[in-house]
């Protein structure tokens, strides 16, 4: 998993944001176990001493984790359990992003760095939905929210989400333009 500034480069944002909307409506944090059950993925934790899996991870240019597609079409996500929790969460959601965005199937043709950007957008928007980020930026912080951020979102992910907030809002509005959104939903979305 590598973090890149996805705004400066091309990626199919409309597609990615449509998938995110279908999963969480841009408002809620979806537990990764729910996402995992929906697509039948097996999680495989490995430690830094597990040389075989570390070596496979290096091949994927990361020490955090990677996804294996099995011959029967199911997936296994291996992740480094020795990392801190926000980083582990980011890794698992990022790898789920590759699967949900069909990077190993129908959309395997897109460029590797575009896949990485898309998976990062997917992960960071599910871990920190638009409405939550809005409240954070507006200063509606309380202890619970502070604790949530510390446990769930890496500083790097939070920083990038804050930098891309305005642009993301435009993309979200574009996705919602074709949908029937109630006033209640608009309020929940902070748009």
Element holding 65 (H helix, E strand): strand 65-69
Strand partners, 79: 45, 65
Q: In the complex with Zn ion, which residue's Cβ is closer, 27 or 62?
A: 62
Tell me how far, at minimum, the Cβ of 76 lies from Zn ion, in Å: 15
Cα 185 from chain centroid? Answer: 22
Tell me how far, at minimum, the Cβ of 120 lies from Zn ion, in Å: 8
Q: In the complex with Zn ion, which residue's Cβ is closer, 67 or 131?
A: 67
Tell me how far, at minimum, the Cβ of 94 lies from Zn ion, in Å: 6
Burial 150-171 (b: 16+ CB within 10 A, else e): eebbbeebbebbeebeeebbeb
Q: In the complex with Zn ion, which residue's Cβ is closer, 23 or 119?
A: 119
3-state secondary structure of 78: strand
Q: In the complex with Zn ion, which residue's Cβ is closer, 26 or 93?
A: 93
Residues contributing to the site for Zn ion (CB under 5 A):
116, 119
Tell me how far, at minimum, the Cβ of 139 lies from Zn ion, in Å: 33
End-to-end Cα spacing for the chain? 31
Taking the C-alpha atoms of residue 147 and residue 143, their distance in angstroms, rounded to an integer, is 6
């Amino acid at each position: 998993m590598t973090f890149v500034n996805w705004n400066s480069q091309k990626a199919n944002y409309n597609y990615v944001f449509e998938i995110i909307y279908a999963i969480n409506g841009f408002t809620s944090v979806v537990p990764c176990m729910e996402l995992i059950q929906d697509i039948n993925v097996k999680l495989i934790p490995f430690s830094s001493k597990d040389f075989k899996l570390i070596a496979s991870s290096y091949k994927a240019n990361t020490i955090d984790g990677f996804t294996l597609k099995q011959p029967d079409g199911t997936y296994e996500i291996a992740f480094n359990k020795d990392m801190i929790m926000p980083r582990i969460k980011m890794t698992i959601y990022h790898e789920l992003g590759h699967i949900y965005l069909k990077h190993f199937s129908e959309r395997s043709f897109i460029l590797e760095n575009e896949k990485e950007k898309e998976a990062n957008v997917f992960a960071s928007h599910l871990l920190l939905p638009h409405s939550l980020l809005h409240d954070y930026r507006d200063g509606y912080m309380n202890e619970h929210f502070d604790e949530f951020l510390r446990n769930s979102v890496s500083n790097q992910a939070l920083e990038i989400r804050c930098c891309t907030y305005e642009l993301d809002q435009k993309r979200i509005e574009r996705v919602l333009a074709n949908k029937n959104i109630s006033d209640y939903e608009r309020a929940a979305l902070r748009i």
